Amino acid sequence: MLALEFPKMYEILVWKNLFDGVGFNKIAIIACLATVLSSVLFILATRKDTTEAPRGARNLAEVVVDFIENSVIAQTMGSDKESMKWTPFLLTLFLFIYLCNVPGIIPFFQMPATARMAVPMFLALLIWVVFNATGIKHQGVGGYFKSVLFPPGVPKALYILVTPIELISVFLVRPFSLAVRLFANMLAGHILLVTFALLSEALFQAKDKVLIPVGILPFFMLVFLTSFEVLVAFLQAYIFAMLAAVYISGAAHPEH
């Protein structure tokens, strides 16, 4: 009989604190490393380079900046000078999320920091504050809430239905959906990797030698899912940054 003991959900999702009395665990380490690595990248990129063609950290930094400007900002906010001012914020957001996602496939860490709800929720609340503050800055308090709650072009009789929907959608659903989308996708990938890793281990160590070759199947699935999680880590960071840009642009320019 195959002995497969799946760990408790608590053990998969929660790590013990590294220091007694201090709430600092691997999730906190990943978040700190994501901050440090992204900062180091651009510190190295800004060093003086005597060569004409960018290389190393500078080349990588320029690729990421171009990606954010062309594939995120230009597609959602426009390519004007005012829109490009959001490059540092959206670039930081994208890099931080991506570097928090990737550790899910790295030994020792083996879990993305974004698979803990606290990290996605904090980022979603940050976006909520930013796009609301942007809307108030560009339209004023009254103008912003009027454009959100009473969208133009809607028959006045329908405002009794539209206004509550817009209120819930913009001020409650947006941050919640942002957080849950990132959290759920990264958590699902983490649980799948754990499941196939344990299944492969159990089959390879089975007492019944007939089951050992069968372990190749979940092992190949584990390799495939690991490769797929590399793509998911990038896509989730991209989608989060893209939606943030859409919300900010919509708050600043409601006619769009």
What is the DSSP code string of the chain?
-----PPPHHHHH-PPPSBTTB---HHHHHHHHHHHHHHHHHHHHTS---SSS--HHHHHHHHHHHHIIIIIIHHHT-SSHHHHTTHHHHHHHHHHHHHHHGGGGSTTT-S-GGGSTHHHHHHHHHHHHHHHHHHHHHHHHHHHHHHHHS-TTS-GGGHHHHHHHHHHIIIIIHHHHHHHHHHHHHHHHHHHHHHHHHHHHHHHT-SSGGGTGGGHHHHHHHHHHHHHHHHHHHHHHHHHHHHHHHHHHHHH-TT-
Domain ranges of the chain: 9-252
For residues 31-50, average pLDDT:
85
Residue with tokens 């190295």: 44
| C-alpha torsion 70→121→233→8, nearest 10 | 180
Q: Is the pLDDT of residue 10 over 60?
A: no
Model confidence pLDDT, tens digit, residues 85-111: 999 999 999 999 999 999 988 877 888
The confidence score (pLDDT) of residue 215 equals 72
Percent of the chain at pLDDT > 90 equals 47
Residue 100's Cβ-side half-sphere holds a number of Cα atoms within 13 Å equal to 28
For residues 226-245, average pLDDT:
94
What φ, ψ does residue 19 adopt, rounded to 5°? -130, 140
Of residues 48 and 35, more confidence is placed in 35
For residues 174-202, average pLDDT:
89
Of residues 140 and 9, more confidence is placed in 140
Under the banding of pLDDT at 50, 70 and 90, the label for residue 247 is very high
Q: Pick the range with the lowest mean pLDDT from 8-12, 55-59, 203-207.
A: 8-12
Model confidence pLDDT, tens digit, residues 135-168: 999 999 999 999 888 888 888 888 899 999 999 9
Residue 16 Ramachandran class (φ > 0 left, ψ -120 to 50 alpha, else beta): beta
Percent of the chain at pLDDT > 70 equals 84
Q: Exposed, middle or buried: residue 191 (CB in 10 Å: 0-12, 13-18, 19+)? A: middle
Q: Is the pLDDT of residue 236 over 60?
A: yes
Rounded to whole angstroms, how far apart are CA atoms 184 and 22? Answer: 27
For residues 45 and 61, the answer to whether their CB atoms sit within 8 Å is yes
Q: Pick the range with the lowest mean pLDDT from 43-52, 170-179, 240-249.
A: 43-52
- Largest Cα separation within the chain, whole Å, is 74
The confidence score (pLDDT) of residue 48 equals 67
Both tokens of 100, joined, read 């928090």
The confidence score (pLDDT) of residue 8 equals 61
What size, in residues, is the chain? 256
Rounded to whole angstroms, how far apart are CA atoms 97 and 113? Answer: 9
